[in-house]
Amino acid sequence: MHRKSNVNSPRALGMVVACGLFGAAVALPVAAQFSKPDSAVRYRQSVFNVMNNHMGRINTQLKSSTPNVQVIQTSAAVVDTMSKLPWDAFAPNTEFVANTNALPALFKNEAKIKELADKMQEEAVKLNAIAKAGDVKAVRTQFGALAKTCDNCHDDFRAK
């Protein structure tokens, strides 16, 4: 998936620090878990990467002629947990962090984002439950339902 990885260049870091100072001035209580806006962005990107990795592991099993149900179960549990984590890292003061791929529209549509995030979590909980039951065919259907919720948000709210 797309990712701008310029965060390690000294120039990008300088920009992040500058934005961090700006962000601190307008920080809201919701961001209290994060020392600066840059940390919140790194946190949510990390969570999305872990979630994506485990979606990939499930997908690999679903494509296999001999899917390993235990791998599917372990990864479905990780995806379920991860699906709850990114959202409080989208505080308003993270909009201008240099290396975020979140589009400005995201910060103007809080209700819509909550709806899309809730839907994603709902489908992740279902995937975890279905995986535990061990029916690979049912897992395949639910995996598709969950993957759709990723695209539904990325289409409008993440930079291509």
In which residue are the tokens 């990723």 written? 150
Q: How near is the Cβ of 50 to ligand HEC at its closest, in Å? A: 9
Q: How far is CA 50 from CA 5, 44, 115, 124, in A?
A: 16, 10, 22, 14
Rounded distance between C-alpha atoms, residue 127 and residue 109, angstroms:
27
Q: Which amino acid is at 64?
A: S
Q: Tell me: does residue 42 bind ligand HEC (CB under 6 A).
A: no
Q: Tell me: does residue 3 bind ligand HEC (CB under 6 A).
A: yes
Stretch that binds ligand HEC, among 11-19, 30-38, 60-68, 147-155 (CB under 6 A): 147-155
Site string for ligand HEC, 94-133 (x = CB under 6 A): ------xxx---x------x--xx--x-------------
Rounded distance between C-alpha atoms, residue 82 and residue 80, angstroms:
6
Given the complex with ligand HEC, which of 19 and 106 has the nearer CB atom?
A: 106
In which residue are the tokens 């990390």 written? 46
Given the complex with ligand HEC, which of 69 and 117 has the nearer CB atom?
A: 117
